[in-house]
Structure 1
Amino acid sequence: DLAWVRRHVDVPIAADESIRRSGDPFRVVQAEAADLAVIKVAPLGGVRRALELAQRLEIPVVVSSALDTSIGLSAGVVLAASLPDLPYACGLDTGTLLGADVVDQPLRSSQGVLALDSARAILLSDALRESDVDSEARKELRDSGWIERVELMIENLA
């Protein structure tokens, strides 16, 4: 359907879910169904996997996010900075839509720009806000087995 739309309109078509949810993200390119691809770090398995996909797609990409905290947005900024060509504006300034963030100094744009140095600092720090997650909530997470499940998922992704 996307290929049909692209042939019948004079505006560039961006593929988002057609890339992210597809078993074969290259199918969109092969069908000439989009002019550009929307790449999101978290659903694609991290910065490295998103970068590998972006490099292989053979169409321009836009790095975007959902409603991510500064941690997710920072990963998107790092991905965007890693791309050799970025002809379109990215969709990474959604942090202001959140009522609070999980870091002490949230990533915020200045004149529409998110600073790479600030994003890297967030990703390399352990600046998670302790006050937002009390020790009882942490104990519940640990006792419920969620931490072990996440660690197991990380091991299987590596």
Structure 2
Amino acid sequence: MKINWGTGIVIAFGLFMTFILYFVFEVQSNSKYDNDLVVEEYYKHDSHFQEEMARIQNAHNLKEKPSIVYNKEGVKIVFPASFESENIKGNVQMYRASNKKFDFDTQLALINSVLVIPQKKLIKGQWDVKMEWQYEGKKYLSKEVIYVD
């Protein structure tokens, strides 16, 4: 049996469509490829953008800034000694872009100006750390990206 070029194009096109449809079905049905929204209330979150930028600028203007680093203990947040730990209020949001099931919030409960988020709460990969805090009536926002290995 001889296949001419027109039949070959139709067969190739049919195979290509089958290939694409297989992958569309695979991604939609497999929970490994969750395609949830990054932020649940996107438009509500976006409407507070200017306020968020003001808090980021407040944190940027500080002479001594808190540091957010990853080490073998976990994520370590250290405030400068010039801040009074008992007057710092706020929370830390740990955001995992690949899967929202791993996202969590932690209140700022400082011990000697330090907060440690234990290694056992973290999985390997990239984490976005968003620390919203208030000191002496002024609001601040610090964002960092850390890599857990």
Work out whether the TM-score is over 0.5: no
TM bracket, shorter-chain basis = under 0.3
TM-score by length of 1: 0.22
- Larger strand fraction of residues: 2
TM-score by length of 2: 0.23
User: Taking CA–CA contacts closer than 8 Å with sequence separation of 6 or more, which of the two structures ends up with the larger relative contact order?
Assistant: 2
